[in-house]
Structure 1
């Protein structure tokens, strides 16, 4: 009987120990597959952008030959990104590819911004269609990147947490790389220069105009009473007393009526 109890205890202990490893292991496998699937969705949109960029470059070259340096930069980064995507061995992006993709995004944005100076291109239906498709592709890339990074965060947290980190070390589950936009031209927010406010047309039109009543010298406002020499402020009640000369004729009579009454 005692031997049977000991065997049961051993089975429970061994089963519990194995369960402590099986559950984290299965969780790691599930999270890793989710990361790989989310990255494949991003990769599809990146390849879609690779296909659109050559057409965009040719359209801009036909109408804006002066932007040769920008066109060459976009083409160089696009070819470099395609080569890295072709030679990629893993199912997740490496930091070098993330950097190239970020630079490519910044170069494309810069090219589209410079085209605003060419009215013929801005009215070109082919360019407008390419611009719309690129914009939609960029939006899908951004949404896919957020979803991918969220999965990577969950996976990396589990890799570093105890006791799941024991299973991660035993079965070589390594941390995954984020797909981030590190290009300062893409990440930076537009600056605000408050010094430009004085240069606005409204400010220039208002320069040289006399201030309105109540906005300029307070001594010009109606009912203003200067402080007395003794330093005391004027009586507020006195300041509110109406001026008889400014009262309506219906209450004080017309000018000269009082004199006529006294003569009677």
Structure 2
């Protein structure tokens, strides 16, 4: 399958519903990954969810979302009308939930593809299907792929675990993932000791290591880099190392024009 993703995508959870980003970015034609959608609504984590640290953010948001039905009725139609290429991030506590999400989203107008969230730093704390082993992640991808049209892409988003990333990427690709997104938050802690995930420029060298090793080991697998992209130079670094696209997330919370600015500068390179 020919996959056209980028070169710049909005990372899951960082573009809000799209409405928040629209004043700073013309969404027409932009690859927009939604926040992770679950079958039922989730309120998300209690207490402070985001803390700024040197080099990025520590966060534990708990995947707040309105549930699939509300998403289909309100958020998806708005994004489609805005012209975005919508990639719905999906998360579930069982393989059956992932399959159900994929089946129902396959019938929803305007869904360009799915991103399977199998890279959360702590699935048990989020009550998600545990994917500590590559074959667990592959089973999730396979369940989604069986229920989603073969001519539309399914992205597998993995955590940047240097010791297992190649194995995980290979397993997910063989299970049907069209592309693999390398880079989610790195397991970290809030100043008070609560578990969270680190994102932002501080994780970029880790993602780069994962990208270079995976690109070398799996040259035929399309890879998307996500972690620390904040300007054209950081995007070029990942694209030059083998990524077919980059996702921008944390930087949008500091400067919501980042996607538009980076896309424009990369376009000038062409």
Shorter-chain TM-score range: under 0.3
TM-score (norm 2): 0.23
The structure whose Rg is larger is 1
- Which has the larger strand fraction? 2
TM-score (norm 1): 0.23
- Which has the larger helix fraction? 1
